[in-house]
Amino acid sequence: MHDLMGLAMKSLMLILLLSVFGSLSPVQALEWQGRIERVRDHAQISMPELVQSLSGSPMIILGEKHDTAAIQLAQASVIESMVSTLNIQDFTTAWEFLNYTTQDQTRDAFLRFVSGSLTASELLVITEGNAKLMNYAPILQVTKKWGGQLLGVNLPRSDKDPVVQGGLSAAYPNTVPPGFEMGSGAYFERFSGAMQGHATPDQVSNYFAAQCLTDDVMAYHFLRDSQSSVRFLVLGGFHSDYFDGTVARIQKRAPEKGVAVVRFIDASDFSEAELLSLSVDPVYGDIADFVLFVNEPHP
């Protein structure tokens, strides 16, 4: 009798596991490298399913942890999978680390990169001043391979410095996009939390103004400076998390255009328990439309 009850309990547990993990085996369920989650229902999906889900969105935001080789490789994989699978003939890759003020220089250097007269490291020296950001080479290579364009959308640090020192009223007038708006109260709350212990309240206020200016400058030039049918934007995750920051400004400026957000997470920064609750915050909601994980969590 006890054996039958034990067998029944094991069967029930197996059914529950299958209901959570679908067709994944228990071993697969513990792996995070390459896992893709559709946030709205926590479903694990494949790369082809991700591509199909993104196919109706002309603007794809790729929120990242900066300068992390596995993440930039995954971002390049998403770009290539979309462009090749959907036969996209016209696309732009915009990058937070490139300024719109030097777009002519970026365009000329990228054309030389496409022609083979510049290497990826030489392109980075021209656009970034050094070749330290070679983790981004796969993104540059994929954009080149599939005939895309490279776009700078950010504001030079020298133009942000007055805002950091004196708030938005100190900004150079020509650096503030038309229709500029500060970020939401929830965004300020998250920003303040991230800055806690690193700045005074007045400094946090100025830093937030500079953050919001950066968000809107990137949104404005992402929308204005490219006419491609599909546009990818590579930027730090804080600018896209919870559909705030740059994402909120894109949606406000172009509500008729479809925007999808893919957040790339380095699982090695977290424990598995933390990862299980990372995609949805009880206060701020979904972190993105999709989350793609690289590496494995720490014990």
At 188 the pLDDT is 97
Query: 127: closest CA among 115, 83, 137?
Result: 137
- pLDDT per residue over 67-87, tens digit each? 999 999 999 999 999 999 999
Using CA atoms, how far apart are residues 27 and 54, in angstroms rounded to an integer?
A: 28
- pLDDT per residue over 111-145, tens digit each? 999 999 999 999 999 999 999 999 999 999 999 99
Residue 92: strand, helix, or coil: strand
Inform me whether the pLDDT recorded for 234 exceeds 80: yes
Q: Percent of the chain scored above 70 by pLDDT?
A: 90
- Label residue 198 by pLDDT band (50, 70, 90): confident
**Where does the chain show beta strands of DSSP type E?**
36-38, 43-45, 59-64, 91-99, 149-154, 230-236, 259-266, 280-281, 285-286, 290-294
Helix, strand, coil shares, percent, the chain, to 5: 55, 20, 30
Give the CATH number for residue 64: 3.40.50.11550
Inform me whether the pLDDT recorded for 29 exceeds 50: no
Residue 21 lies in a domain: yes
Residue 263 lies in a domain: yes
Q: How many domains does the chain have?
A: 2
Residue 299 lies in a domain: no
Structural domain for 22, as ranges: 1-27
Using CA atoms, how far apart are residues 85 and 103, in angstroms rounded to an integer?
A: 29
| Lowest model confidence (mean pLDDT) among 11-25, 54-68, 160-174 | 11-25
Residues 128 and 5 in one domain: no
The structure's pTM equals 0.89
Query: 219: closest CA among 191, 189, 257?
Result: 257
